[in-house]
Amino acid sequence: MASVTSKTPMLRAAAARGFAAHAQAAAASRGSAEVQTTTLPNKLVVASADPNAAVSRISIVFRAGSRNETADCLGAAHVLRAAGGLSTKTATAFGITRNIQQAGGSLTTAADRELVTYSVAVTKDQLEVGLKYLEATATGQVFKPWELAELTPIIRNELARLPVEVQAVELLHKAAFRDGLGNSVFCPDYLVGKHSSETMQHYFAANCTTNRAAVAGVGVDHQMLVGFAQSLALESGAGGENKSAFNTGEVRREGAGSRAAVAVGAQAVGWSSMKEAMAFWVLQHAAGVGAATKRGTNNGVLTKALAGVNSSSLYNGYSDNGMFGFVLSGDAKDAGKAVEAGVKALKSLSVSDADVARGKASALAAAAEYTENQSTLLHQLGEESALLGQVYKKSDLLAAVNAVTTGDVQAAARKVASSKLAIGAVGNLSHVPHLCELH
């Protein structure tokens, strides 16, 4: 009976509620590919774009990322991500998997420092099935103890497979922000398997509320999406706001082998200031984001100083803060020399008009590609809706990049040069200098 997904035409009911409340807006927006946003009375934000896409993609997004964890629930966001698709109040894990597969769709869960996102992708004729199980997964989890126990080997496997570069960036965040943004996206080793059903239910109830949520859709009618959002069984509540300040410091994790990975960061800005954030984004592309082709050269103004290692500049922007720097990996001896050269380059970072032009061209290409891909467009809609309460159109993003001047990028470079530093390092660190040796 897997094909019998719902006796009640939920999709039609949700659409009817949405159209009844917004009849005039529905008539005006029919067939529009422009981004549309609606804020419901309960503060939940709904955003959609490109309703005529062949595949419908919908996300329910919560501001429940790892920055919201406290000392007694570290790793809860990672467990919440891993628990996506487990049994809920209305469906078993087997029922969710079988019905989504039978509909030819996919149901995924993602988490980062800011957000936890539940997403479904189905063809339009299977939209009702997708919405039913998306709602069940995102709002009705029960966290059965025996199912949480089954996640332990899955989480341990994820931790064992983390690239050293990712580990270095995680340690950099711990050094720079300590708590809040310093909380790792991944569960600490010593807490794997230690999260109880009560802990997870409390974390979900505290962070997954209407005030901290957004619903985003691509390839779906906006008014239908509004009706679906109105039907979600979520509690209201603003929850806590965990602000994070940038600090100097270092976190080192010694390991065996002959290689090392190091991430170095200075204070930047968050996405609350669009103009400054765009300047840092252009600076990142001018500084170098890795070779564009296999065995290509890495000729950014910063990365060309990092000889003999794999490297890329780094810009992590968050809702209230940001970090700019570089990450590298390679032989331990080469990594140590590259860190010294990279810090010197970071402290004397400057850009020319040609560097800014190259950075803007690269940033424009990245923005265009990001907004033209439906999967990444959905991510953008959900992220901006949940964190900023508004969504930027593709034209707005491209205009913001084009508006960046050489002076703006030079100001960002001066901010980086004058900032205190933080370092995260993992591997064979016998040749990697300590932070105090780099000042």
pLDDT in tens, 252-282: 999 989 999 999 999 999 988 889 999 999 9
pLDDT of residue 18: 38
| The two structure tokens encoding residue 199 | 């802990």
| Residue 414 belongs to a domain | yes
Answer yes or no: do 306 and 220 share one domain. Answer: no
Rounded CA separation 165/426 (Å): 8
| The two structure tokens encoding residue 165 | 């570069």
Answer yes or no: do 272 and 421 share one domain. Answer: yes
Q: How many residues does the chain have?
A: 439
Burial class (CB in 10 A: 0-12, 13-18, 19+), 413: buried
Answer yes or no: do 297 and 417 share one domain. Answer: yes
pLDDT of residue 13: 38
Answer yes or no: do 303 and 341 share one domain. Answer: yes
| Residue 242 belongs to a domain | no
Contact in structure between 280 and 322 (CB atoms under 8 Å): yes
| The two structure tokens encoding residue 358 | 């190259």
Residue 160's region, left for phi above 0, alpha for psi from -120 to 50, else beta, is alpha
Q: Quote the domain boundaries for residue 134.
A: 34-229
* Averaged confidence pLDDT in the chain: 89
Confidence of residue 50 (pLDDT cuts 50, 70, 90): confident
Burial class (CB in 10 A: 0-12, 13-18, 19+), 210: buried
Count: domains in the chain: 2
Calculated CA dihedral for residues 218, 222, 227, 228, nearest 10 degrees: 0
Rounded CA separation 29/10 (Å): 22
| Residue 325 belongs to a domain | yes
Residue 360 pLDDT exceeds 90: yes
Q: What is the pTM of this model?
A: 0.89
User: Phi and psi (nearest 5°) for 41?
Assistant: -55, -30
Answer yes or no: do 184 and 255 share one domain. Answer: no
Chain centre to alpha carbon of residue 134: 19
pLDDT of residue 33: 58
Closest CA to 180 of 67, 320, 321, 71: 67
Answer yes or no: do 285 and 344 share one domain. Answer: yes
| Residue 122 belongs to a domain | yes
Rounded CA separation 336/178 (Å): 24
| Residue 1 belongs to a domain | no
Contact in structure between 218 and 49 (CB atoms under 8 Å): yes
| Residue 291 belongs to a domain | yes
Rounded CA separation 38/46 (Å): 5
Answer yes or no: do 287 and 214 share one domain. Answer: no
**Which whole-number Å values give the CA distances from 4 to 58, 122, 140, 162, 231, in the listed order?**
21, 17, 20, 40, 21
Specify the pairing of strand 116-123 against strand 55-62: antiparallel
Answer yes or no: do 213 and 357 share one domain. Answer: no
Rounded CA separation 256/254 (Å): 7
Which one-letter amino acid corresponds to residue 55? V
Answer yes or no: do 218 and 259 share one domain. Answer: no
pLDDT of residue 34: 80
Closest CA to 438 of 175, 248, 289: 248
Answer yes or no: do 268 and 352 share one domain. Answer: yes
Residue 96 pLDDT exceeds 80: yes
Specify the higher pLDDT residue, 298 or 43. Answer: 43
The position carrying tokens 């698709």 is: 85
| The two structure tokens encoding residue 286 | 């001018």
Answer yes or no: do 255 and 198 share one domain. Answer: no
Rounded CA separation 358/352 (Å): 10
Specify the higher pLDDT residue, 324 or 3. Answer: 324
Residue 60: strand, helix, or coil: strand
Rounded CA separation 257/69 (Å): 33
Residue 308's region, left for phi above 0, alpha for psi from -120 to 50, else beta, is left
| Residue 193 belongs to a domain | yes
CATH number at residue 409: 3.30.830.10
Answer yes or no: do 150 and 289 share one domain. Answer: no
